[in-house]
């Protein structure tokens, strides 16, 4: 269905924030016309019930729409998490009218849920030769019906008609593709680090070739600091932002960062240089630094395993990693991931090729790095 950009809002309803955007065409380019942002749990300090969390999300969406002066009737939004499964399969060449049945038949071997419990979608990525035969490369996506129905019910409660429900990692990839226009030969990985979920997507030859969600993000770090230090969620968040990851000194780049002694010495030395104070392992700052380091090392290992799996399956080498999302601005993250993965790492700019006119640029700039999914969803409005 053709969507009217003035009547459609792109909504990224994350785990901790809501981003609402409307884009418009400006010749052959795009401009950010309206923008709203709201925190879902601005005073979160204790466990909330599921009903409380849902109510908080609804209120945050209303605030984001009001802040952006957005009165749209249709919504393009997305979902993520363990209830989303993405698989890449190959089928022999066959008539188009037989393909859908073959995909559903094949899906039973790849989807670990009964097919009547999921919404199933698929797309042809292209064709390739294998053992002298032409194979159809297919992207298969399954989402638990319960997840999608809850998401749609929330939109309808906000008096929004769901036009498209996408997957976060694909929206992020869509944003990257429009902003960076990579050559078909490029093989790049995208890492969107959210509050509760981090999404990996590998882009090559005009599409996604690998996708995976990891239930680890910024709130994982904050909760770990809160537990270890014994402080409030807000105080843990402040420590996370202040401390970040230790800056790798030149000599540290050749050491084993996985070793506990090296880790402790690196953190201690970095913080002491900054503060001018001698730290013990009991200080909140030192504990926070060690928690941040450990969790991001775990995330780095998951990313590394994903890249290696893709490379082993495809015979291609990932050339570069682009990072985005709320926790992508963690101090020294880019250098840390470069060391862990051994490839260049760059902060993805969701507005690299998107104009910003008539808006509070300071407000947009403050959360620019978090807009990847929202911009990617906004671009879906213009799909032919």
User: Which one is the CATH code of 84-143: 3.30.1490.300, 3.40.50.1970, 3.10.180.10, 2.102.10.10?
Assistant: 3.30.1490.300
Domain boundaries of the chain, sorted by first residue: 84-143, 183-348
- For residue 255, the model assigns a pLDDT of 40
Q: Output the pLDDT for position 277.
A: 52
Strand, helix or coil for residue 248: coil
Give CA–CA dist 271/115, Å, rounded.
52
> DSSP E strands: which ranges in the chain?
8-13, 17-26, 29-39, 74-79, 84-92, 118-130, 133-144, 161-167, 187-193, 198-204, 207-214, 320-324, 345-347, 354-356
- Say what the pTM is: 0.88
Residue partners of 109: CB distance under 8 A and separation at least 6: none
Helix, strand, coil shares, percent, the chain, to 5: 45, 30, 30
- Local structure of residue 247 (DSSP, 8 states): P
**Cα–Cα dist 366/344, whole Å:** 25
- How does pLDDT run along the chain (384 residues), one tens digit per residue? 578 999 999 999 998 999 999 999 988 899 999 999 999 987 655 557 888 889 999 999 999 999 999 999 999 999 998 899 999 999 999 998 899 999 999 999 988 888 999 999 999 998 888 778 899 999 999 999 999 999 999 999 999 999 999 999 999 999 999 999 999 999 999 999 999 999 999 999 989 999 999 999 999 999 999 999 999 988 999 999 999 998 776 544 444 444 444 555 555 555 555 555 555 568 999 999 999 999 999 999 999 999 999 999 999 999 999 999 999 999 999 999 999 999 999 999 999 999 998 899 899 999 999 999 999 999 999 986
The CATH number that domain 183-348 falls under is 3.30.420.40
| Residues 142, 181, 328, 43, CA torsion sign | negative
């Amino acid at each position: 269905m053709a969507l009217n950009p003035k009547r459609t809002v792109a909504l990224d309803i994350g785990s901790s924030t809501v981003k609402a955007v409307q884009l418009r065409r400006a010749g052959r380019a795009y401009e950010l016309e309206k923008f709203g942002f709201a925190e879902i749990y601005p005073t979160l300090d204790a466990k909330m019930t599921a009903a409380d969390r849902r109510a908080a999300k609804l209120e945050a969406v209303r605030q984001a729409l009001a802040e952006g002066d957005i009165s749209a009737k249709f919504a393009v939004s997305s979902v993520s998490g363990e209830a989303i499964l993405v698989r890449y399969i190959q089928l022999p060449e066959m008539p188009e009218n037989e393909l859908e049945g073959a995909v559903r038949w094949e899906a039973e071997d790849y989807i670990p849920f009964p097919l009547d419990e999921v919404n199933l979608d698929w797309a042809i990525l292209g064709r390739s030769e294998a053992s002298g035969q032409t194979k159809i490369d297919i992207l298969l996506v399954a989402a638990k019906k319960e997840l999608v129905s809850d998401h749609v019910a929330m939109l309808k409660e906000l008096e929004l008609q769901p036009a498209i429900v996408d997957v976060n990692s694909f929206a992020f990839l869509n944003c990257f593709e429009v902003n960076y226009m990579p050559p078909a030969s490029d093989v790049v990985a995208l890492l969107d680090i959210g509050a509760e979920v981090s999404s990996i997507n590998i882009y090559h030859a005009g599409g996604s070739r690998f996708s995976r969600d990891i239930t680890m993000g910024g709130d994982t770090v904050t909760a770990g600091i809160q537990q270890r230090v014994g402080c409030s969620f807000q105080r843990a968040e402040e420590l996370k932002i202040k401390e970040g990851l230790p800056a790798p000194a030149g000599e540290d780049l050749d050491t084993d960062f996985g070793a506990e002694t090296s880790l402790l010495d690196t953190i201690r030395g970095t913080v002491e240089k900054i503060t001018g104070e001698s730290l013990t392992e009991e200080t909140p700052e030192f504990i926070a630094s060690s928690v941040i380091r450990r969790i991001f090392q775990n995330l780095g290992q998951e990313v590394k395993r994903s890249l290696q799996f893709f490379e082993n399956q495809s015979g291609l080498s990932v050339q570069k990693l682009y990072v985005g999302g709320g926790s992508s601005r963690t101090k020294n993250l880019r250098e840390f991931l470069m060391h862990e993965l051994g490839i260049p790492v760059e902060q993805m700019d969701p507005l690299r090729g998107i104009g910003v006119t008539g808006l509070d640029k300071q407000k947009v700039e403050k959360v620019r790095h978090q807009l990847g999914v929202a911009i990617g969803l906004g671009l879906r409005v213009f799909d032919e």
